[in-house]
């Protein structure tokens, strides 16, 4: 039986998509590759819900964050870095390293960014050239209300740069309708592909900012990337096998339909949260903020996340995630991203129940998992 991989990325990959990875190599500067790149571009525009350009990189998700920063900003530009967890901190740190003047706006881990607080900050300390936002904060299992944030950010004229690495293709994100300038994502979370491809959707305003942005860049340079993509190539040798895989996974996503995908994740999240609560695990965030793609909960007094993780892995071949940074000894996280169905989570919760009992936890009576 395959490992029940319940971490928030990389996520399980359907067999049809994995099989694509075994195809023979082709010329990355030939017509077949151009056609695949075209299909992947169209498929991603569908998932990004955009008509904007989509730029591809052989990179992990973090590369796309760097790409957004270095292509739209200049050293000294004022940037508001909204952070609700470790990925928000990373985004702000990238901007800082390249010389942006970053004003941090940190919210308590486990909660989302309050649009009213963001509005007040923009009024009190603006104007900013750009605002950095994490859509789904994977480290805490919290989803920001990007639409409400766009409503307060866009009228100030700031560019909105969005980390959608763990949400694109799982949680609704309407790039064009909400006016998001840059949205970055990776192949290994919601898109049912192995890791290694990154994408950024780039608005007209972001292209405009790009023209005068002077942060140093070579590999990430949009002008260069787009010049090649327009003729069906990437500037540098692309991970051809991943493109084969992505084309297939995007086909599967179009067949299922975006709304159905979002609904499936909502149902699975509700099921997982309820299952964890019945086992006596306190949710890490209130329902208003809880993510539909990864669920976090406190571990019981005296039982560490690492212990639970180890028993699950050694005895049941179920792999879950634990907290990051100061949450490492406090929470567990169960991923329900991408290619996942209820049975996978039922098995995960049943094994979690056994592991907790084995570690001395008194599971409340009536727990169904
Ligand atoms: C996974 C993740 C990243 C980083 O992606 P890598 O592929 O590991 O570089 C960034 N932001 C969020 C929200 C993520 O979930």
Q: Per residue in 60-78, pLDDT tens?
A: 999 999 999 999 999 999 9
Ligand 1: which residue has its CA nearest to atom 6?
61
Nearest atom (ligand 1) to Cα of 62: 9
Stretch among 45-54, 302-311, 358-367 having the lowest mean pLDDT: 358-367
SS3 label, residue 356: helix
From CA 121, how far away is CA 57, in angstroms rounded? 34
**Average pLDDT taken over every residue of the chain:** 97
Q: Is the pLDDT score of 103 beyond 90?
A: yes
Confidence grade of residue 164 (pLDDT, cut at 50, 70, 90): very high
Average pLDDT over residues 353-357: 97
Residue ID of nearest Cα to ligand 1 atom 2: 165
What is the chain's length? 369
For 189-233, write each residue's pLDDT tens digit. Answer: 999 999 999 999 999 999 999 999 999 999 999 999 999 999 999
- Residue with the smallest CA separation from ligand 1 atom 3 is 61
Nearest to 201 by CA among 86, 28, 57: 57
What is the value of pTM for the model shown?
A: 0.97
For the chain, the straight-line distance linking the first and the last C-alpha, in angstroms and rounded, comes to 20
pLDDT tens profile 13-36: 999 999 999 999 999 999 999 999
> What is the model's pLDDT at position 202?
98
- What is the distance in A from the centroid of ligand 1 to the CA of 302? 30
Neighbouring CB atoms inside 10 A of 43's CB total 21
Looking up tokens 């920001």 gives: 144
Give tens-digit pLDDT for 234-272: 999 999 999 999 999 999 999 999 999 999 999 999 999
The residue assigned the tokens 């990051």 is 324
Q: Is 363 helix (H, G, I), strand (E, B) or coil?
A: coil
Q: What is the pLDDT of residue 369?
A: 59
Residue 151, both tokens: 């409503």
| pLDDT-based confidence at residue 2 (cuts at 50, 70, 90) | low
Q: What is the DSSP string of 35-52?
A: HHHHHHHHHHHHHHT-SS
Ligand 1 site residues, Cβ closer than 6 angstroms: 9, 60-62, 87, 134, 136, 138, 163, 165-166, 186
Q: Grade residue 101 by pLDDT with cuts at 50, 70 and 90.
A: very high
Half-sphere exposure of 40 (CA within 13 A, CB side): 32
Half-sphere exposure of 170 (CA within 13 A, CB side): 34
- Give, using CA atoms, the residue closest to atom 5 of ligand 1: 61
* Res 365 pLDDT > 90: no
- The pLDDT-based confidence of 109 (bands split at 50, 70, 90) is very high
86 C-alpha to center of ligand 1: Å?
Answer: 10
User: Do 333 and 324 form a contact (C-beta atoms < 8 A)?
Assistant: no
């Amino acid at each position: 039986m395959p490992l029940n991989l319940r971490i928030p990325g990389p996520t399980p990959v359907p067999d049809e998509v994995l099989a694509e990875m075994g195809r023979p190599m082709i010329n990355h500067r030939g017509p077949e590759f151009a056609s695949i790149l075209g299909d992947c571009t169209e498929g991603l525009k569908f998932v990004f819900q955009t008509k904007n350009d989509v730029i591809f990189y052989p990179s992990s998700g973090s590369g796309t964050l760097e790409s957004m920063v270095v292509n739209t900003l200049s050293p000294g530009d004022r940037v508001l870095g909204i952070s609700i967890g470790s990925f928000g901190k990373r985004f702000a740190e990238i901007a800082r390293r390249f010389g942006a003047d970053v004003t941090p706006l940190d919210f308590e881990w486990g909660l989302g960014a309050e649009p009213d607080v963001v509005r007040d900050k923009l009024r009190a300390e603006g104007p900013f050239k750009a605002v950095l936002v994490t859509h789904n904060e994977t480290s805490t299992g919290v989803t920001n209300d990007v639409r409400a944030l766009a409503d307060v950010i866009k009228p100030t004229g700031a560019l909105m740069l969005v980390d959608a690495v763990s949400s694109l293709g799982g949680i609704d994100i309407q790039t064009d309708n909400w006016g998001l300038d840059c949205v970055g994502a990776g192949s290994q979370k919601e898109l049912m592909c192995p890791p290694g491809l990154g994408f950024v959707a780039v608005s007209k305003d972001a292209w405009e900012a790009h023209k005068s942005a002077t942060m140093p860049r070579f590999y990430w340079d949009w002008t260069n990337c787009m010049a090649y993509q327009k003729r069906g190539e990437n500037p540098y040798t692309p991970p051809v096998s991943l493109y084969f895989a992505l084309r297939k996974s995007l086909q599967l996503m179009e067949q299922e339909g975006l709304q159905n995908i979002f609904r499936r994740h909502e149902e699975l999240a509700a099921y997982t949260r309820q299952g964890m609560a019945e086992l006596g695990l306190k949710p890490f965030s209130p329902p208003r903020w809880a993510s539909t793609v990864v669920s976090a909960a406190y571990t019981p007094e005296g039982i560490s996340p690492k212990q639970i993780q180890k028993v699950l892995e050694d005895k049941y071949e179920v792999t879950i995630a634990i907290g990051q940074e100061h949450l490492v000894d406090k929470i567990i996280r169960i991923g329900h991203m991408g290619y996942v169905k209820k049975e996978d989570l039922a098995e995960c919760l049943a094994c979690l129940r056994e592991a907790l009992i084995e570690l001395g936890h008194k599971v409340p009576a009536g727990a169904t998992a």
